[in-house]
Amino acid sequence: MLIKISPHLKQLAKESPAIRKQFYATDLEAKDVTQLPDLLLEEAHTKVKGLVHKYDNRVLILLTLQCASYCRFCTRRRTVSQVASGVITKQDLFNMKTYILQNSQIKEIILSGGDPFTVVPLLKEALTIFSRIPQIKWEPEFRYQIQKELIASSYKL
Ligand code: SF4
């Protein structure tokens, strides 16, 4: 199992068993080199590069496969270290927009990764491009509480 822990989290983990448990592998996990399966079948539901369409009314967009630290519970642990293969371009964003426009049942876009806050310029491009899709209700919501508090204190939006 790949392990990556930011210096800030290492510091916090010294004081917090909960943070240690979230990011530090057990001895057994650390030795395990098994390739984890695609538990959520995201690859089978990838319609254009970086866009997963599994449920009718929403799409999941993987803006990057980069993370500041790797969470033990991650369902994408098989891919998050493969940063180069997950690079999304502006053209990819337009391809995603075209797909969404062709599928009018899509009403919600979830931006994920990897950690989208590690690619802030691309995140801004995505927000600009996707905010112009008429069928999407524009009510941004951040489901980012833990990582924002623990990791992203040095990132600027
Ligand atoms: S993708 Fe999310 S859950 Fe997985 S390691 Fe990165 S930050 Fe953690």
pLDDT of residue 135: 94
Which residue owns the Cα nearest ligand 1 atom 3?
74
C-alpha 69 to ligand 1 mean position (Å): 7
Distances (CA, A) of 27 to 19, 31, 74, 118, 155: 17, 6, 17, 29, 31
**Distance between CA 82 and CA 5 in Å, rounded?**
16
C-alpha 75 to ligand 1 mean position (Å): 8
pLDDT of residue 154: 46
Strand order in the sheet with 46-48: 46-48, 51-55, 58-62, 108-112
The pLDDT of residue 118 is above 80: yes
Per-residue pLDDT tens digits for 24-46 = 999 888 888 777 789 899 999 99
The pLDDT of residue 146 is above 60: no
Mean pLDDT of 14-25: 93
**Distance between CA 1 and CA 40 in Å, rounded?**
19
Distances (CA, A) of 103 to 4, 51, 96, 130: 38, 13, 11, 14
CATH domain 36-144 topology: TIM Barrel (3.20.20)
The pLDDT of residue 119 is above 90: yes
pLDDT of residue 144: 54
Per-residue pLDDT tens digits for 59-101 = 999 999 999 899 998 989 888 888 899 999 999 999 999 999 9
Ligand 1 nearest atom to the CA of residue 69, by list position: 5
Which residue owns the Cα nearest ligand 1 atom 5?
70
Ligand 1 nearest atom to the CA of residue 114, by list position: 1
Which residue intervals of the chain are DSSP H helices? Answer: 7-15, 17-23, 27-31, 90-102, 120-130, 145-150
pLDDT of residue 157: 37
C-alpha 71 to ligand 1 mean position (Å): 5
Residues whose beta carbon lies within 6 Å of some atom of ligand 1: 67, 70-71, 74, 76, 80, 113-115, 147
H or E element in which residue 55 lies = strand 51-55
Q: Are 17 and 24 in contact (CB under 8 A)?
A: no
Domain ranges of the chain: 36-144
Which neighbouring-strand residues pair with 127? none
pLDDT of residue 155: 44
Distances (CA, A) of 73 to 21, 24, 123: 10, 11, 24
C-alpha 134 to ligand 1 mean position (Å): 30
The structure's pTM equals 0.84
